[in-house]
Structure formats: C-alpha cells, structure tokens
Amino acid sequence: MNGPSLHQPSDPLTPAEQVQLLFVRHEGTIRAFIRALQPSLPDADDVLQETFLTVSRKAPSFEPGTNFVAWACGIARLKVLENFRQRKRATVLSEAAIIALSEVAPPEEMTGMKELALSRCLEKLAPKSRDLLWRRYSGRQSSDEMAGALGMTSTAVRVALSKARAFLRDCVSAELRNPS
C-alpha cells in the first residue's frame, strides 16, 4: 500500500475505538438483551443506538479485560428504563419487571428464558385476555378502538389489560425464579 491508512498496526486504538469494536462484535447479544426488555422494535432500535452512543461516550470508564457485554447491557438496561419513562407507553412489563428480568440471568441466556416464561404464561391467560393483549401490542389498537370492536367500555378494556399485564408480570417472575 502506498497511501496512508487510518491506523497503522503500531497506532494504539483510543478507548472509544476499543469499545466501539467490542460493541460491534457483541451487537447481536446486546440487541437480544434490549429486545427482551423492549417489546417495540422501533423503540428497541432507538435504545440500541442510544446505548452505542453512551458506550462510546463512557469508553474511558470501561476496564479492558472485564466483561464488556455485562457492562454494555447494564447501560442498555438504563436506556430501556429511560425510554420507558420518556414514552410513557403502556407495556406488557412494568418498570419493576424490566429491572427484575434484566438481573435474573446473563444477557446471553435471558432472551430464551424470558421468551419461554412469557410463552408459558400467555398459555395460562384466558383467551379474552390474550386477545386484548394481542390487539393492544400487535394490532396497536387504543382502548377506545378495542372497546368499540368488542362492545366494552374503554374503562373496562383498560382494567382488563391492567389485570392481564399484572398476571403476566407475576407469572413471568415466578417462572424465571422456578423454571421447570
């Protein structure tokens, strides 16, 4: 090569460049961790970007040789909670459940465990409750839209959704504490 390169082999990487390389290497695990906590794909993508920016900014505080994924996922967890508070969106999981789930297992193991627990708990829900949750989170219907479609009041829909979410939160927590 005759032209100059950005980094000669002897050029040390800056701390920001080091953590950015680690982030890229472990992006799939970090993304899975975020998706396990953030049900909305667009919000999860936003959180991933915010996590990358924060990891880059906090690069000097990362200690090489320690668990990068755990460090980055700790930042991601805080970004999920920040997103949750900013958006004030209804979610299947409460803020307490997000914190509890993120502390249950290493990020690499958590996604599968949570999905299995959630799947088991969804099977235990009454069909009407599953339908309401599907309409709200997959169909993105508002309480008023669901009320009109189902012949319920908007208040009754909100109460039923709240009960279904509480059931799921408690059930998933129990499943994760005592997997069968």
CA 135, CA 79: separation in Å to the nearest integer?
27
Structural tokens at position 41: 């794909």
The highest-level CATH class for domain 115-180 is: mainly alpha
Residues of the chain with CATH 1.10.10.10: 115-180
pLDDT tens readout for residues 10-35: 568 888 888 999 999 999 888 888 88
Residues of the chain with CATH 1.10.1740.10: 13-89
pLDDT tens readout for residues 121-159: 878 888 888 888 777 766 677 888 889 999 999 999 989
As a CATH number, domain 13-89 is 1.10.1740.10
pTM check: above 0.85: no
CA 94, CA 104: separation in Å to the nearest integer?
15
Four-CA torsion 101, 102, 106, 110, nearest 10 degrees: 50
Structural tokens at position 67: 């668990």
